[in-house]
Chains A and B, each alone.
Chain A
């Protein structure tokens, strides 16, 4: 074992009370950082999971029809009324080529053609406004893991099969095997009078979607909205969730279509997550600062207490460099041992949290993201901060004049 390490360890062992105090200090700091990081990333992961569980990374649709600009008066310059074209489901021109082009974009792992349109779901006297989603179950599985949400029945959309949410099912009193009618906004009811048979019921974990989504085959939706052979949207999944905006920009550039990433359509969520991350980072920075000041002040006191011994070490052949190392190593060791204490503390807090913070039904509200990478990163920070905090006291120790120190001792 090297000289400076031997002396550093002895000094730490000798200063029992001080050493424990500083270890507890570093431990609490590391514990708070571990817990906070795990909490925030667990929370964010579950929020994003919930958002993206039922949503494509990028949704591609046709360009808006040009609004007509109506001059309001002859004299008023620049004051215009923009009249939106009547709402109807529009098709993507040559969607097969567009889809092939999108598939070629790096980072895209799945695409699925879909149709989305507003309609009324009618059964007997009851009628609910719904969002009809015409899909190809096979390719759509690559975008949203529908099977995961299916509660009853199957995901069979052949012919006039429809899969609806639990909300709609209870509103209209529908169960698997029951029939209902879809009526699109334009008054057209498609062929077969828009009659669908419930083949499955899903629970997507979102009250609004559970009450509004009606999944039908692409062909049913095409006839319902009068889009023979066409689709209104192409849904895209990327390899990496935060790569969605880049892919969207690329799609718009290559196809001339409108491409919205989940990041753009959930801007508020992202802003929220970002400010959450930065306030968590700020707390961590202050914790690190407090820990650093703690280590530095304990070591500074120790340098003063040990000044005579430092003088004796210097007189007996210890170099300035070695003296400096003795104190730097104490800082690193305190950081290392403190992070062991802190990781244990962080995990303990995590357990406490997951037993205390439960939803009304007793399930954990969300899982903490406690992982090795977080421990390793925090321990590395603690060792680095420990060593850096020791720098000033260590330099001071190394600069001590042995003659002065021995005389005054």
Chain B
């Protein structure tokens, strides 16, 4: 059993080291630079704590570093400096395989565009993360995928190839995929950015529903102030710094 598998099996945040307390995600002084000769400083000392079940909007102008921050939080990228703990575990010490396992089981992703595999049906796209994790196809993963597709209102589309789905439908398939591992955290980078307002509202509503039903924490990057206003907490990024962090109510 790998280090990270053990982490996930004992995934009671209170019992994990590093004083997990109730933080799902803890960033301390995280910076990110790109380039070696000409260094671009994208993130400057980000401190952020995300708790289980939070519904958080990440806003900010284009180029302010939202995607960069999301990639770091999603364990797809490593910070240049600073500390990052997911479920209380310091991820700096983990190797790629451990990070992959932690990410696969702990974090779901919804991207803005192009995020389904066209060689697979909607249902297969949904259970692909489970298939990668378990190594073999089984009935349970297909049932789980069908149930999630029903939840996002696509039970009739399970066998469709993704190219035959509309933009809103694809985004809902992606959402079902992000949830199939039952992760404690889902990261969504402008999930409605490419949709008309009606489909966008529908997708956003689904995020909210899953947040409330399963207690999944969501970090949603959005440009849309009306959507941000519907979140419990809005973190505003400006030039790689957190400019404001406001909680509703």
Binding site for B on A (CB under 8 A): 1-3, 6-7, 10-11, 13-14, 308-309, 312-322, 401-403, 406-407, 409
Residue in A7, A308, A406 whose Cβ sees the most chain B Cβ within 10 Å: A406
Q: Distance in Å from the Cβ of B159 to the closest Cβ of chain A?
A: 15
> Knowing A1-B137, A10-B119 touch, does A315 contact B74 (C-beta < 8 A)?
yes
CB-defined contacts of A308 to chain B, threshold 8 Å: 114
Q: How distant is B175 from chain A, measured CB to nearest CB, in Å?
A: 13
Q: Tell whether, in the assembled complex, residue A14 and residue B132 are in contact, meaning their CB atoms are under 8 Å apart.
A: no
Q: A6-B137, A312-B116, A406-B111 are in contact. List 20 more A-B contacts (CB 8 A).
A: A7-B119, A10-B117, A11-B119, A13-B119, A312-B109, A313-B117, A314-B76, A316-B108, A316-B128, A316-B177, A317-B100, A317-B101, A317-B103, A319-B101, A320-B100, A403-B71, A403-B76, A403-B77, A406-B76, A407-B67
**6 interchain pairs (CB within 8 A)?**
A10-B117, A312-B117, A313-B117, A317-B105, A317-B132, A319-B101
Question: Known interface pairs A402-B76, A403-B76. Does A317 touch B129 (Cβ–Cβ under 8 Å)?
Answer: yes
Report A70 CB to chain B, min CB distance, Å.
88
In the assembled complex, B115 has its CB within 8 A of some CB on chain A = yes
Q: Is B133 an interface residue (CB 8 A)?
A: yes
B136 x A2 contact (CB < 8 A)? yes
Which of A317, A322, A401, A403 is in CB contact (< 8 Å) with B181?
A317
Complex CA gap A29/B198 in Å reads 56
Q: Which residues of A contact B111 (CB under 8 A)?
A: 312, 406
A317, B104: Cβ atoms closer than 8 Å:
yes
Contact yes or no, A3 B119, CB < 8 A: no
Q: Does B209 contact A (CB under 8 A)?
A: no
CA–CA, A3 and B141, complex, Å: 13
Least Cβ–Cβ distance between B146 and chain A, in angstroms? 18
Chain B interface residue count, Cβ-Cβ cutoff 8 angstroms:
34
Interface residues of B in 172-217 (CB under 8 A from A): 177, 181
Instruction: Convert B208-249 into 0s and 1s, putting 1 for each residue whose CB lies closer than 8 angstroms to a CB of A.
Output: 000000000000000000000000000000000000000000
Given known A402-B76, A406-B76, contact A315–B109 (CB-CB < 8 A): yes
Q: Which residues of chain B are within 8 angstroms of A317 by Cβ–Cβ distance?
A: 100-101, 103-105, 129, 132-133, 181
Cβ–Cβ contact B117 & A309, under 8 A: yes
- The chain A residue with its CB closest to the CB of B116 is A312
CA distance A7 to B115 in the complex (A): 16
Q: Which residues of A contact B181 (CB under 8 A)?
A: 317
B114–A316 CB distance below 8 A:
no
Rounded to whole angstroms, the CA-CA distance of A321 and B136 in the bound complex is: 15
Q: Which of B17-70 contact A (CB under 8 A)?
A: 67
Residues of B within 8 A of A309 (CB): 117
Checking B74, B77, B132, B136 against A318 with a beta-carbon cut-off of 8 angstroms, the contacting residue is B132
Judging by beta carbons under 8 Å apart, are A316 and B119 in contact? no
B94-137 interface code vs A (CB 8 A; 1 in, 0 out): 00110011011100110101111111100000001101111111
Interface contact B113-A3, CB-CB below 8 Å: no
Min CB distance, B95 to chain A, in Å?
A: 10
Q: Is the CB of B115 within 8 A of A14?
A: no
* Assembled-state Cα–Cα distance A407/B221 (Å): 14
> 8 nearest interchain CB pairs?
A317-B104, A403-B77, A14-B119, A403-B76, A10-B119, A316-B129, A403-B71, A318-B132
Contact check, A315 vs B128: say whether CB atoms are below 8 A apart.
no
Supposing A403-B77, A407-B71 touch, asked if A320 and B137 sit within 8 A by C-beta, the answer is no
